[in-house]
Amino acid sequence: MNIGFIGLGNMGAPMAANLAKAGHTVIGFDTAGTKAEGVETASTAEATATEADVVITMLPNGAILRAVADQVIPAMKTGAVLLDCSTVDVNSARAVADQAEAAGLGALDAPVSGGIGGAQAGTLTFMVGGTDQAFATAQPLFEVMGQKAVHCGPSGNGQAAKICNNMILGATMIVTCEAFALADKLGLDRQKMFDVVSTSSGYSWSLNAYCPAPGIGPSSPADNDYKPGFASELMVKDLGLAIEAAKSADADTPIGQLALALYTKFVEEEDGRGRDFSAMLPRFERRGHR
């Protein structure tokens, strides 16, 4: 396929390189001038789009996605697909899809989970919103860039799945860190706590697969001085999107709101910036009951 790829950052560059390695013709563009292996560089976003069967975007947020969509949609061939893999707000995803479909294009929102390691290894999971036809067009690309693509329904539903997942992730990580800090103060050995909870009803991905306590469970950022991994700033972004969506859908999300407040404070007022989101554990270790 001919692929345009816009946004060659930490995630986009390895994704684009994997598509080129698989034999697709990939033309990329990034305002920062970054490049990806095997990918021809274009001088504008539009130039990636004119010959493309699929234009992929991997951008920081919804406002930038909307601006890029304004540039590339008029340049795309009728029937081509605009595939956005960024994490953005549900409303921007739906607005861009409407704009693309009105111009005779297919559109998909397909945010990912798996992080930079998954982007490099081609093992991302895609959560996808859009039509069956557009999903079928993009399926071979999902197979190169990832190991699983779940079609979640119409446009916006991929973003909805992503923010619901990450709201659960943020909340379970916080409560897992609280529980370890409480266990310490009660004199309960961390390894014993892990042995019990990881096979009891308190288990979760945050505890079992990404344990915030160093030296316990499988290897995780806690074993690497809390270097990300998944940076706390990105958790603030995703929780912000979840709470914004909850407001616009009139959904009650008190724990999600509290998780957002705690991660925002961690990043803006404490030492969370640049640290993995599991570094909430040393934060709680230093604190008493209030």
By CB under 6 A, the count of residues binding ligand NAD is: 26
Which range in 18-26, 111-119, 134-142, 199-207 contacts ligand NAD by CB under 6 A?
Answer: 111-119
Q: Applying CB under 6 A, does 7 fall inside the site for ligand NAD?
A: yes
Distance of alpha carbon 256 from alpha carbon 266, whole angstroms: 15
Q: Applying CB under 6 A, does 6 fall inside the site for ligand NAD?
A: yes
Site residues (CB under 6 A) for ligand NAD, limited to 45-104:
45, 58-60, 64, 68, 86-87
Structure tokens that stand for 246 in this block: 């909850």
The continuous run of DSSP H or E covering 125 comes out as strand 124-130
CA 200 centroid distance within chain: 29
Q: Applying CB under 6 A, does 31 fall inside the site for ligand NAD?
A: yes
- Distance in Å, CB of 228 to ligand NAD, minimum: 8
Check if 77 is active-site: no
Distance of alpha carbon 36 from alpha carbon 12, whole angstroms: 8
Instruction: Please list the residues that pair with 151 across neighbouring strands.
Output: 128
Of the residues 77, 148, 162, 247, only one is catalytic, namely: 162
Structure tokens that stand for 168 in this block: 């659960």
Beta strands, E only, 142-229: 146-153
Q: Applying CB under 6 A, does 12 fall inside the site for ligand NAD?
A: yes
> What sign has the CA pseudo-torsion 67, 68, 71, 76?
negative
- Distance in Å, CB of 116 to ligand NAD, minimum: 5
Binding site for ligand NAD (CB under 6 A): 6-12, 29-32, 34, 45, 58-60, 64, 68, 86-87, 112, 115-116, 230, 234, 237
